[in-house]
């Protein structure tokens, strides 16, 4: 039957619905310095009235993990996002063509006003693939960190002002105090302003001195409160599922730490 239809030129989409489109795999994006790739998304914050929410707009630099812009609004639209993008553009002194802004395919992200603003500023948009929920992993991971903080309110925010105050405190902690495991346990603010390399060199020297002292003593100290190794967890995916492997900080070469880059791969969702 299919052969007859093909010969008659009738083996095509005949339904009233829109035919399925073939999607090509997007080009992977890599960030090797701050202010190259931003990731942003919107998450809900509970409001006093059940079923209503405040909307947290959050922009982060995927290389340094710094939150470069945020705000809480009562509405979810592209106009608010465009205002934030202009503010970030001025504060970070971004040049035209310098930044790629990655997001999912939500209505505010695809809005004409935001897209027009990005075009005027010279910011290139990047979007997740349709129906792929984990193409924006950095923002999703940041939202989980935010909502699983011990100080996250167990009850809805009483007002928009209270929500903004709480998020402001979280952003300050995250940027200036939180030692991020993905960037060798330095703060996002230190990495964003290129202060991490001196800290990593100093930390490496401390570890080498501790190792030499332990080696000369012929034994390792345990349970004394002195951390001789900094454990870093890495996650690798196998056919049977994710397997966690642990390696010591001392096994890292100093050059690897200083030259570490962050890759945002939107072409291979299995990595996340």
Task: Say if 5 falls within a structural domain.
Answer: no
Of 122 and 215, the one with more pLDDT: 122
Is residue 86 scored above 70 in pLDDT?
yes
- On whether residue 172 sits in a domain, the answer given is yes
Tens of pLDDT along 48-83?
A: 999 999 999 999 999 999 999 999 999 999 999 999
Q: Looking at the predicted structure, is the pLDDT value of residue 241 above 70?
A: no
For 29, residues 6+ apart whose C-beta sits below 8 A from its C-beta are 37, 100, 102, 126, 263, 264, 265, 266
Classify residue 16: in a domain, yes or no: no
CATH number at residue 131: 3.30.420.10
Judged against a pLDDT cut of 90, whether residue 244 lies above it is answered with no
R_g of the chain, CA atoms, integer Å: 23
What average pLDDT score do residues 206-226 get? 69
> CB neighbours (10 Å) of residue 115?
15
* Highest-pLDDT range among 10-19, 221-230, 242-251, 257-266: 10-19
Q: Across all residues in the chain, what is the average pLDDT?
A: 82
| CA separation for the pair 82, 2 (Å, rounded) | 50
- Specify if 14 maps to a domain: no
Do 34 and 66 meet the contact criterion of CB atoms below 8 Å apart? yes
**pTM, two decimal places:** 0.74
- Count up the domains in the chain and report the number: 1
Q: What domain range includes position 112? A: 26-220+228-272
């Amino acid at each position: 039957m299919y052969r007859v239809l093909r010969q008659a030129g009738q083996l095509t989409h005949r339904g009233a619905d829109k035919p399925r489109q073939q999607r090509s795999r997007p080009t992977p994006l890599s960030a090797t310095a701050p202010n190259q790739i931003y990731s942003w998304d919107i998450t809900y914050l509970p409001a006093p009235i059940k079923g209503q929410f405040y909307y947290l707009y959050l922009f982060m630099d995927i290389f340094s993990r710094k939150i470069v812009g945020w705000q809480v609004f009562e509405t979810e639209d592209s106009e608010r996002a465009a205002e934030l993008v202009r503010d970030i553009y001025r504060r970070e002194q971004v040049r035209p063509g310098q930044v790629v802004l990655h997001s999912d395919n939500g209505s505010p992200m695809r809005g004409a006003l935001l897209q027009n603003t990005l075009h005027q500023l010279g910011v290139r948009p990047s979007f997740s693939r349709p129906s792929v929920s984990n193409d924006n992993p950095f923002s999703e991971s940041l939202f989980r960190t935010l909502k699983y903080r011990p100080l996250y309110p167990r009850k809805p925010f009483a007002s928009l002002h209270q929500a903004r105050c709480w998020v402001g405190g979280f952003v300050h902690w995250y940027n200036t105090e939180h030692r991020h495991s993905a960037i060798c346990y330095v703060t996002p603010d230190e990495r964003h302003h290129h202060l991490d390399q001196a800290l990593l060199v100093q930390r490496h020297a401390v570890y080498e001195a501790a190792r030499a002292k332990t080696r000369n003593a012929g034994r390792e100290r345990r349970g004394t409160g002195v951390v001789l190794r900094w454990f870093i967890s890495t996650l690798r995916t196998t056919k049977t599922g994710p397997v966690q492997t642990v390696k010591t900080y001392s096994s890292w070469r100093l050059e690897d730490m200083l030259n570490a880059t962050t890759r945002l791969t939107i072409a291979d969702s299995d990595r996340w």
